[in-house]
A and B are shown apart, each in its own frame.
Chain A
Amino acid sequence: DVKVTQSSRYLVKRTGEKVFLECVQDMDHENMFWYRQDPGLGLRLIYFSYDVKMKEKGDIPEGYSVSREKKERFSLILESASTNQTSMYLCASSIPFHRDHGYTFGSGTRLTVV
């Protein structure tokens, strides 16, 4: 069964900490995405990548960075965590030029910054 795996389901971090959220997919997908989900705001795209070492800003990149050193792994980095980054973070992957296939999502990481 194809999978997108997010390393942690729940994380609690302190304000000012550097936080790494890891996402790994085993489907050889070129495209990978990071979203955050907040009540009343739906899914908001933070960053995406369509190839190794490539990255593109989404709608809300401020306060975040990403790393894609290997095709299967896409990391989201909070350089200095703040309480307004408390959220559910969702990773997804897809195949380019196959828009009919849809996205495959991970189970999500619920991050709390205290």
Chain B
Amino acid sequence: GDSVTQMEGPVTLSEEAFLTINCTYTATGYPSLFWYVQYPGEGLQLLLKATKADDKGSNKGFEATYRKETTSFHLEKGSVQVSDSAVYFCALSDQDYGQNFVFGPGTRLSVLP
């Protein structure tokens, strides 16, 4: 079945550091890929998405590129802020009906001032 693997956390960075959170996937079809963010005590919010190979999703300074050849969708940000501290979930959607999302386990990011 479909699956999503993320790098183990927690990740701790200093403010203005470069961020990479790795995500790889296994899917039988041709999935759409997503990054969700969960701030403390909140639900998940869509951060960015890409729906076909070589697409780049971007939002709030975060970027991720859909790499079909390496089945990856790594999240990057050039300069993190304390306010970016959250849990980040990589996810894929491979079906058009019913329960169609597969989430990764989440990676907790802490940014120190």
Contact = CB atoms under 8 A, between A and B. Distances in A.
Nearest to B99: A48
Given A99-B32, A102-B46, A43 B99 contact: no
B22 interface: no
Given A43-B89, A99-B94, 8 more contacts: A4-B43, A48-B98, A50-B98, A58-B99, A98-B96, A102-B32, A102-B101, A107-B43
Interface in B86-101: 89, 91, 93-101
Interface stretch (A14-22, A67-75, A77-85, A89-97): A89-97
B98 A96 contact: yes
A103 B104 contact: no
Contacts of A100: 32, 49, 51, 93
> Per DSSP, are chain A's interface residues mostly helix, strand or loop, or mixed?
strand
Interface in A29-51: 31, 33, 42-43, 45, 48, 50
B43 A105 contact: yes
Interface of B: 32, 34, 36, 41-46, 49, 51, 89, 91, 93-101, 103-106
A87 to B, nearest CB: 14
Given A107-B42, A108-B43, A99 B103 contact: no
Given A100-B32, A100-B49, A94 B89 contact: no
A99 B43 contact: no
13 contacts: A42-B89, A42-B105, A43-B106, A45-B99, A48-B99, A90-B44, A96-B96, A96-B97, A98-B96, A99-B100, A102-B46, A105-B43, A105-B44
Nearest to A44: B103
Contacts of A42: 89, 103-106
A105 B99 CA distance: 14
A26 B87 CA distance: 26
B96 A56 contact: no
Nearest to B101: A103
- Which interface residue of A50, A56, A98, A102 has the most chain B CB atoms within 10 A? A102
Nearest to B97: A96
